[in-house]
Structure 1
Amino acid sequence: MTSAEAGLRQQPWFIERLTSLGGRRDPELGQAIVRLFIVPLFDIYIVSVLLFDGQATTMDWVAACAVLAYIPISVILYWHIKRTPGHFAWRRILAMSGDYGAMTLVMAVGGMSMLPVYATVLWVTVGNGLRYGSGYLLVATCMALATIAIATVFNPRLHSEPYVVITLVLTTLIVPAYIDNLQRALRGALNEARAASLAKSNFLAQASHDLRQPIHAISLFTACLRDAGLEREERQMVENIDRSLQSVAGLFRSLLDIATLDSGKVEPKLAPVRLDDVISDVMRQYSEMAQWANVELRAVPCRVVVRTDAALLSTMLQNIVSNALKYAPDSLVLIGCRRRNGKIALEVHDRGPGIPREHLDQVFDEFYQVRERGDRDVEGVGLGLSIVRRVGSLLDLDVQLCSVEDTGTSVVISGLEPSTQNLATSVLASTAPPSTVSGLHVLLVEDDKDVLLATATLLQKWGCKVQVETGIPKTMAAWDVMITDYDLGGKTTGADCIMVVRKLLGRQIPAIIITGHDKTRVQRDLGDASVPVMAKPISPVELRSVLTTEIVTALN
């Protein structure tokens, strides 16, 4: 059986080329490229007609030479637009004047054989409106009417055919007006669609945030129950509750990720990142899920440093590994990297049942799940690979999926740029010794009482001395570290809390922010990369690891 490979369903090169020729990426550059093709064809038509007619006058050949001279002008326009991109009204009007000037000259001095040139006049008029908007459509229409008027005055054939002139004038008025009405209707529909999409994204983000709060609290309470001296049967029930919570948490994480990406506010922050750190972090996060799925989760050491956004790359890897654990239980999942064409590729391979060929073209679609008749239910809503595709596009990375039925599936993230900068070994992925946390004086700030109680109880079980606050504390104490929610109510954020506490203490106390919002946005609003941001719901292992890291860093 041959292997089937499905990437991100990229457009074929010729479709992409036509798109660029049409100017969707840069309307003015697209117009300049089209002009480079049309003007020579235009001149070939004129010369061919004059030679075939055999009755060409001197003025006819003058017109042909004038159009021929417009070719280098078109090249100069293209060069200027390519070198100085942007919206310059004078340049657009100048180019339009040149276009209509050449067509006016041909229609004015030529006979009825030059009347087909009017099709180009109409095409250029509509094209300017579609590319640049209603204002330019009005200007182009006026220039087209001036072309007809001048051609009628100087062309005796047109002068003697009033009904032809009336037809040209009416067509020049009606077609652009109809196009403009369609554009306005399309813009209205597009604005409504954008508003609906924004409302959906806001709803998903808010619903995800609100529902993650109680899930976060339940997760921490469950962790406390594990150490409550339960019998084997009760411990198994706690494990089942925790497993279900992790599934729901993964769902809300996906909903929040897709809502954040839909908002268009995600901007990658490129920096040197050691791939081993990203892989180790994901391995740690999914270790329990791998045990539940009876999967051997392994990673090949990869000490390469690449230039990328660590948080976004981690999101991609998390979703790929999560899919592998769900769809390839009782098997091996391997994470590693390799060099490809001077760049680095991050790969995830599993030995699951594979994906049937008919599904490969749709696996990156939103809410699409590979389901066959009689298949078992799989957790999730089919957003994982869609998130991978979107984030990969943001980071300019290529994502390919190769799957063979009854053999396994491989997902490759390629295009990572190697970085020559060396980094210190990350402490984040290391396991903290219990004595490091015990005895810590922790300031815990959280406006949700359930989350506050759950977090405080867990910290106390670890031997920490906890002071709980629902807002910014008014008095000072000898805290070793502070943990704060981001939204504290009353237009107060965790960033404000950290700033006030550090000012009260007169030192840079280690701080951790836990939030139900997008981590990237919170980190950007915080403006301090040294403060770790954790997304709710978090596991006790993650919290303890980050807490230990902050203390070790402060001591060093």
Structure 2
Amino acid sequence: MSRQPAKSAASPDLAEEHRAELNQAKVRLWVVLASAVYVILRWVAVDGPIPLPADYAFIILPLPAEVAVRWLLICAGFGAFALLLLLHIQHYRGHFRWRRIGAMIVEYSTYTYILIVGERITMPFFALIVATALSNGMRFGSRYLMIAAIFSQASLAVMLAASPFWRANVSVVLAFSIIAIALPAYAFALLRQTAEARDTAVAAMQAKSRFLAQASHDLRQPIHSIGYYLDILRNTHSKAERHVLLNRIDRALGSVSRLFKSLLDIAHLDSGTIEVRSEDIALQPLLAELVQQNSQIAQWNDVELRSVPTSLNVHADPTLLTTMVQNLLSNAIKYSHGSSVLIGVRRKGPSLAIEVYDQGIGIAEDDLPHIYEEFYRAHVAGDRDAEGVGLGLAIVNRLAQLSGFVLDLRSRRGVGTVAGLYDIPIVTHRVEKKRRVRSDAPQPLSGFRVILIEDDHDVRDATDELLKRWGCHVQSHPGMPTGIETADLIIADFDLGNQLLGTEVIRSIRQDLGQAIPAILLTGHADAKVKKLVDGDDIQIFSKPVQPAKLRSMLSALRIANRDEP
């Protein structure tokens, strides 16, 4: 390894190693000083100007002058070595293994010689043997800790071989040996845990950086295109062209909405508040609706989306199952531009698998072990750019584990991918198909009375206008309303400013009108936080942004439910 003068530039890791080695060298000098003070005190106890009284001789055993002089010479020699080593470290930076191991050899040789010559009087020096092992390990890592621990045992073996005194007190040496093994072993475990925690933290920081970069890209792309579309729209007078532009703006907004939904899904999983509420459900309506919802996106991506009908019923949480299959479909469509995607069901004994086949770009073998990691994207230079921040499969995997299912994915680069949910329990009895309202079907909302509570002026105006275009009669308020009329539904934002919450407004309106009016709460917070405040209040929670089709479908379903009530 080439030498680097101290004044040259160094990487952060090299600078940290240099500081650690300098600190170790300084500790070595302090050890020399402490040893010299110890020897002098022992010498003073017998021959010095302040002899130790006989009654206190047991505290510090006396040290003859000739032995004290010999030890001071050893301290002086070791001190000279420590000083030269410090100067070398200051002048030459770098990872010099021979310098560190050589320093340990000199240290252990010195302490071993002192323990052999001084016998019982030098027992405190054993602490230096253990301290040397620990300090090298803590400063330079577990490898040096193991080397120092081996040197410690070698020192004790040399003591036994060279000293009759230590052979006569083999139990003391054995105790020293156990201590010299136990303490470094404990330190090794701590170092390992610290290293794992550090690696986890570094991985989390790297994932966060990847996420911020990708999320920034995925937000900029649609916003960039929306800006252009709006400028073109202002100067377009053809009804057909305006319709095309509006569809493209809607598509761009859908990309932003899907990004936020992924972030909300992972936030809910991290909060640990998701509950699995399984029930018997007919699989065909669920899959058919997902295919219908993704048909437009498939068309935009030039993907042929097909499904194989099934008559099987399963026991699962319909909301979680829908989220899982939706993410698998989104991934397949996203990476299958110009090809086809097929969703089908395969029965396997008492359970079944929902599988999504695509003929897209596939996933490289090196990427397969990482595809369930959050914020990981299997991207190869030259691939067509696709939206997403690498959360889809991570969400599916965690939801599958919560539900007791198994997520499996097989893929070949350039051939395609098969992603499936397995071990979904089948139910053999007939399941009543629940009536559902299609999100794309026009519903009779004329005369439907809505109380709208929203503090943001632009959002309130946009929502008010949208509801009126659907035929609703809207009472719009920025905060706690006064003089309200009866209504069929309350739509309220969660945070209304001035320490006012939408939940408080909903309760106040219900109390004033004497009716348990259905209510929808719109929020940008994680559902767990909001659910604690609405528990038992019969309020439906929607996470922003809410697509107009979803909101209209919800209003239509509520109106139909109200009409069906006696």
TM-score, length-scaled by structure 2: 0.58
Aligned match of 2:300 = 292
Match of 2:341? 333
In 2, the alpha carbon distance for the partners of 1:422 and 1:519 equals 34
* SS across alignment from 2:546: coil
**Superposition deviation, residue 414 in structure 1:** 0.9
Which AA in structure 1 matches 2:359? R
* 1:483 is aligned to 2:491: yes
Deviation (angstroms), 1:301: 3.9
Deviation at 1:523, TM superposition (A): 4.9
Letter in 1 for 2:256: V
1:169 to 168, 171, 175: 175
- The aligned counterpart of 2:152 is none
Matched with 1:468 is 476
User: Structure 2 matches for 1:513-528, cutoff 5 A?
Assistant: 513-519=521-527, 522-523=530-531, 526-527=534-535
Find 1:398's aligned residue among 384, 406, 426.
Answer: 406
Could you tell me which of 241, 251, 254 is aligned with 1:246?
A: 254
Following superposition, the deviation at residue 168 of structure 1 comes to 3.3
Count residues with an aligned counterpart.
Answer: 387
Whether contact under 8 Å (2:460, 2:476) holds in the other structure is yes
- Name the CA distance, whole Å, in 2 between partners of 1:490 and 1:304: 52
Please state how far the C-alpha of 1:545 moved relative to its aligned partner.
0.9
Equivalent pair of 1:444/1:484 in contact (CA under 8 Å):
yes
Q: Which residue of 1 aligns with 2:375?
A: 367
| Structure 2 partner of 1:507 | 515
Deviations, residues 421-467 of structure 1 (Å, cap 9, x unaligned): 86543344435764521221111122333222221111111111111
Shift of 1:355: 3.2
Residues 287-328 of structure 1 deviation map (CA, whole Å, 9 limit, x = unaligned): 332231133333444454433333332222222111111111
Give the direction of change, closer, same or farther, for the CA distance of 1:554–1:337 in structure 2 (3 Å limit).
Answer: farther
Task: Give the root-mean-square deviation of aligned CA atoms.
Answer: 4.2
Partner Cα distance (1:486, 1:303) in 2: 41
| Residue 454 (structure 2) pairs with residue 446 (structure 1) | yes
Are 1:256 and 2:230 counterparts? no
Distance in 2, Cα, partners of 1:186 & 1:489: 49
Further displaced range: 419-428 or 532-541 = 419-428
Q: Is the 8 A contact 1:363 1:369 kept in 2?
A: yes
How many Å separate the matches in 2 of 1:488 and 1:426?
36
1:344 to 349, 352, 360: 352
2:285, 2:539 → 1: CA distance?
A: 17
Q: Give yes or no for contact 1:343–1:416 (8 Å, CA) kept in 2.
A: yes
- The residue that corresponds to 2:424 in the other structure is 416
Query: Per-residue displacement from partner, 1:155-213 (whole Å, max 9, x unpaired)?
Result: xxxxx966432233234445444455566667778788899969x99xx99xx9xx99x
Q: How does 1:166-315 map to 2 (within 5 A)?
A: 166-181=172-187, 231-276=239-284, 278-302=286-310, 304-315=312-323
Secondary structure in 2 matching 1:232: helix
Counterpart contact for 2:268–2:527, Cα < 8 Å? no
CA distance in 2, matches of 1:189, 1:474: 61
- CA gap 1:185/1:504 in 2 versus in 1, 3 angstroms: farther
Where 2:444 maps in the other structure, the secondary structure is helix
> 2:492 corresponds to which letter in structure 1?
T
Q: Aligned partners of 1:331 and 1:531: how far apart in 2? A: 43
Q: Distance in 2 between matches of 1:466 and 1:348?
A: 43
Give the structure 1 partner of residue 119 of structure 2.
none
5+ residue gaps, structure 1, are: 1-159
Identity among equivalent pairs (%): 37
Report the AA paired with residue 384 of structure 2.
R
Taking a change above 3 Å as real, the CA distance of residues 423 and 378 of structure 1, as seen in their structure-2 partners, is same
The change in CA–CA distance for 1:355 and 1:554 in structure 2 (over 3 A counts) is same
Distance 2:512 2:357 in 1: 51
Aligned partners of 2:273 and 2:528 also within 8 Å: no
TM-score scaled by length of structure 1: 0.59
Cα deviations across residues 395-417 of structure 1 (Å, max 9, x unaligned)?
22211112345553221101223
Counterpart of 2:520 in structure 1: which amino acid?
I
Q: Which has the larger radius of gyration?
A: 2
Name the SS for the 2:388 alignment partner.
Answer: coil
For the structure 1 residues 232 and 173, does the alpha-carbon distance in structure 2 shift closer, same or farther, using more than 3 Å as the test? same
Supply the distance in 2 between the matched residues of 1:491 and 1:426 (Cα, whole angstroms). Answer: 40
User: Given that residues 285 and 542 in structure 1 are in contact (C-alpha distance below 8 angstroms), is that contact kept between their aligned partners in structure 2?
Assistant: no
Question: Contact conserved, 2:268 with 2:528, CA < 8 A, in 1?
Answer: no
SS at match of 1:415: strand
Change (3 A) 1:387 1:161: same
Q: Is the 1:428–1:546 contact (alpha carbons within 8 Å) kept by the matching residues of 2?
A: no
Aligned partners of 1:271, 1:490: CA distance in 2, in Å? 42
Q: Determine which structure has greater relative contact order: mean sequence separation of CA pairs < 8 Å that are 6+ residues apart, divided by chain length.
A: 1
2:319 is the alignment partner of 1:323 = no
Distance 1:440 1:400 in 2: 46
- Residues 439/334 of structure 1: CA separation in 2 closer, same or farther (3 Å cut): farther
User: Tell me, which stretches of 5 or more residues in structure 2 are unaligned?
Assistant: 1-165
What CA distance in whole angstroms lies between the structure 2 residues aligned with 1:261 and 1:183?
31
- What is the rounded CA distance, in whole Å, between the counterparts of 2:338 and 2:538 in structure 1? 39
Question: What is the CA–CA distance in structure 2 between the aligned matches of 1:282 and 1:311, rounded to whole Å?
Answer: 12
Asked if the contact 2:437/2:556 (under 8 Å) is kept, the reply is: no
* Equivalent residues of 1:481, 1:551 under 8 A apart: no
Change in CA separation of 1:265 and 1:298 when aligned onto 2, cut-off 3 Å: same
Q: Which secondary structure does the structure 1 equivalent of 2:487 belong to?
A: coil
